[in-house]
Structure 1
Amino acid sequence: MNDSPASLSPAAVAAAPTPVTRRVLGIVVFNFIGYFCVGLPLAVVPGFVHSTLGYGTVLAGLAVSLQYAATLLSRTVAGRLCDQRGPKVSVLWGFAACALAGAFTVAAVAMSATPALSLALLFCGRLLLGCGESLVTTATIMWGIGAVGAAHTGRVISWNGVTTYGALAVSAPIGVWLGERHGLGALGAVTVLLALVALAGVALRRGVLPVPGERIPARQVLRRMLPFGLCLGLGSVGFGAITAFIALYYADRGWSHAALAMTLLGATFVLTRLVFPNAIHRHGGYRVAMVSLGVEALGLLCLWLAPTPLLAALGAGITGAGFALVFPSLGMEAVRRVTESNRGTALGIYSLFLDLALAITGPLAGAMAVAWNYGAIYLLAAIAALTAAGTSLLLARRAALR
């Protein structure tokens, strides 16, 4: 299938949605709804635990991180479910979990006069939301690949990522606005409503059948995903370090407007995926990964050496542009290492490395800041990105010898 006629300029091809892109968007829209549900209560939950229930900041933080832990632990389960029952089933289960999460949140608010019970109900809701997140996002990727073919794996993963970060960017301020006016209970009710609407939409769409074939053990899939996952993890350090420490880095240097760096990071990430939707399909995953990781390292070095806040923000923007295609480019090459009947499991395990990297980056980078300074975090992140680029080169050479 030729989705980019020679008569069209690259800019026109990027701007005009192709039939493949339209089919992909019709599926990844469910990922947008899923992540909208995830982002809606993020900024409101800690305040409810701390101010309304009267617990300390540790439990307030735990209420947020429980969701990420559940996502991490359920990734492999989601992938295996896609392989065995089909991705549509996984999306249905994911939105059912989101609806239950919203219901538990409403119940937690209703029982706020009994703080211990309210906190337990809230924790249950957070765990369910984390499971729903992994069930939906892994499955929409597999559903999209099944609908348009494995040749478009990179494009599917890219669009899935655009909907992920787009939904988080939109839902967070809406959640704060609704929370300030109507409280956490309203956010839980909206989550239930959105999940039920999504369930109806998923039920009406045609799914793709699971691919028949041998299901190899998850530990064998892990061994095949390990080198790609390590590259992904190393390449994710810079993104995690910026999101976690850019405000403190600016404050340490006496700068203002740290939000500009965050804005540029997110904007260039999404823009790169929109402008280069076919780059991986045209040039191959390894080549795109190496270039992307090199660009990311350049941005991180600019951030480390920046003499002014504006140049630091520019470094963050370059980092976002570089990081944008790391996950889909390496992901396309990773899933080729297994048969189609095991690609859901492979994708779930591959995604674990992103979750782990973002989880580990915070405490490790914090320790570095204490030992040296905040700038050293971005130097280390640049070294990690360059290491990932070198490893990607070795993987490409090994693949060429097969």
Structure 2
Amino acid sequence: MKQFILFIVLISFFDMFSQLPIMSPFAKSLGATPALIGLTVGMYSFTNMFGNILAGYWIDKQGAKKVLLFGFFLTGGSLLLYTIVSTPEQLMFVRFLHGLFSGFLVPAAFTVIANKGEEGKQGKSMAISGVAVGISAIIGPAFGGIVAAKYGVNWVFIIIAVIMLIIAVLSLIIIPNGTTPISRKIEPPLKTLVIIIKTPMLATSFIGAFSLMFAQGVLAYMLPLQVEIFEFGSQYSGMLLSTFGITAILIFALPTNKVFDTYQNHFVMMIGMSTIGAALILLSMSSSLLLLFFCMILYGAGFALLFPSISAMLANHTDHETRGKAFGLFYAFFSLGVVVGSSLTGLLEVSYGTGYIIAACILFINTLWMFVYFRSKSQVKESME
């Protein structure tokens, strides 16, 4: 059961990562202008945010299993639509649907993981799920690029669609039906969102998610440019990103994952954010390949500390009735971070060094106010005792 849920997480992220190397060339082959290519690529993350939020409400009303099933069937169907598009406008519409429907998958999968997790061991559960995310980040782009080059871009969509439809059928059999009691008191959707966001620990988790993916968006945009400027060879962009992914996977999977349940989530979170910020500052000054690889190892360590801690923080401060909405918002902030990070640096037309420093400042500023907040909270608690 646990292994199957982790496989679901892997495929959910694999779908997104496999399209990174092929979507821009695909849009260009249909005659899209550079501006339209950018909108087409970004449309997925944009509508994904709304899918995350909608999924959150649906999970808490109908259960995570039902949302997961519909998510896989609808996402699989939208992937098959890619094979019949012939204009940039049609491609953008399919991206709209694809992003919206795939937004159902990750909140539902992580809600199942959180609900099945043992009390006091949510951090380790989220770290293990991070292994699945890391693996998909490594093999997804390679799969998309190789299959598209060898057999054509349509086969990328067809293969993933078939896998998703098979998983939907297996999920129907393997995942037990939820027995979560639904509250009789139905709060207005907007009021519920406000209540969740105003909960300090959940708001901290959301800000951590946004900060992490803002940095990730900047990194995805700037690292290939940096490698190109120093003429290291385009293959090193993939190798550097794989280095970050492998580092994160090792920390997720090895006994180091005990740190997430040994120390307080917000403490590990702040260390992770500071580590990523330091890695980005070093990246802005790096001009040698060896130093770039060191920076990506450091970045991967920071990612590995940050991702499970913010996920566990959310799981530990929600119950069965609000967890779906909270995870929906959580991954909406993930998508928002990617969109804002890559779009802002692109619009400002900054150099790779400046882009890294902007992302690092976001991380350090958020770390600083969190440190002040949790320190003052601790002092108040001590004075009351």
Are residues 1:359 and 2:329 paired? no
Q: Which residue of 2 aligns with 1:374?
A: 352
Which one of the candidate residues 168, 175, 189 is aligned to 2:158?
189
The answer to whether the aligner puts 1:65 opposite 2:42 as a matched pair is yes
Query: Structure 1 CA distance, aligned partners of 2:135 and 2:68?
Result: 19
Alpha-carbon separation, structure 1, partners of 2:253 and 2:33? 42
Q: 1:341 to 1:398 in 2, by over 3 A?
A: farther
The number of residue pairs the alignment matches comes to 369
Query: 86-95 or 374-383: which moved more?
Result: 374-383
Q: Percent sequence identity over matched residues?
A: 18
Shift of 1:199: 0.8
In the alignment, is residue 159 of structure 1 matched against residue 137 of structure 2?
no
Q: Distance in 1 between matches of 2:344 and 2:97?
A: 28
- The residue aligned with 2:268 is 288
SS of equivalent to 1:296 = helix
Q: How does 1:317-328 map to 2 (within 5 A)?
A: 317-328=297-308
Residue of 221, 229, 244 corresponding to 1:265: 244
Which structure has more relative contact order (CA 8 Å, sep 6+)? It is 2
- 1:83-162 maps to which residues of 2 (within 5 A)? 83-108=60-85, 112=86, 115=87, 119-120=89-90, 122-162=91-131
Q: Distance in 1 between matches of 2:158 and 2:288?
A: 45
Separation (CA, whole Å) in 2 of partners of 1:215 and 1:398: 35
The reply to whether residue 48 of structure 1 matches residue 26 of structure 2 is yes
Relative to structure 2, which stretch is displaced further, 56-65 or 347-356? 56-65
TM-score by length of 1: 0.82
Q: Matched residues in 1 for 2:181 and 2:119: separation?
A: 12
Structure 2 residue aligned with 1:200: 169
CA distance in 2, matches of 1:254, 1:177: 23
* Structure 2: unaligned runs, 5 residues or longer: none
Q: Structure 1: which 5+ runs fail to align?
A: 1-22
- The whole-number CA distance in structure 1 between the counterparts of 2:257 and 2:240 is 24
Q: Displacement, 1:289?
A: 0.9
1: CA distance, partners of 2:4 / 2:376: 36
SS of the aligned residue for 1:317 comes to helix
Q: Which of 198, 202, 206 is the matching residue for 1:223?
A: 198
CA drift at 1:306: 3.1
Q: In structure 2, what is the Cα distance between the partners aligned to 1:376 and 1:124?
A: 34
Q: 1:301 to 1:188 in 2, by over 3 A?
A: closer
Q: Which residue of 1 aligns with 2:182?
A: 212
The Cα of 1:82 is off from its aligned counterpart by 1.4
TM-score normalised by L of structure 2: 0.85
How far does residue 258 in structure 1 lie from its aligned partner after superposition? 4.3
Deviations 1:106-148 (A, max 9, x none): 332xxx3xx37xx42x334323322332211111111112123
Any idea what the Cα deviations from partners look like across 1:284-318, whole Å, max 9, x if unmatched?
20121122222222222322333533213311220
Equivalent pair of 2:50/2:103 in contact (CA under 8 Å): no
Q: How many Å apart are 1:170 and its aligned residue?
A: 1.4
Contact 1:102 1:187 in 2 (8 A): no
Q: What does 1:231-242 correspond to in 2, within 5 Å?
A: 231-242=208-219
Distance 1:129 1:162 in 2: 24
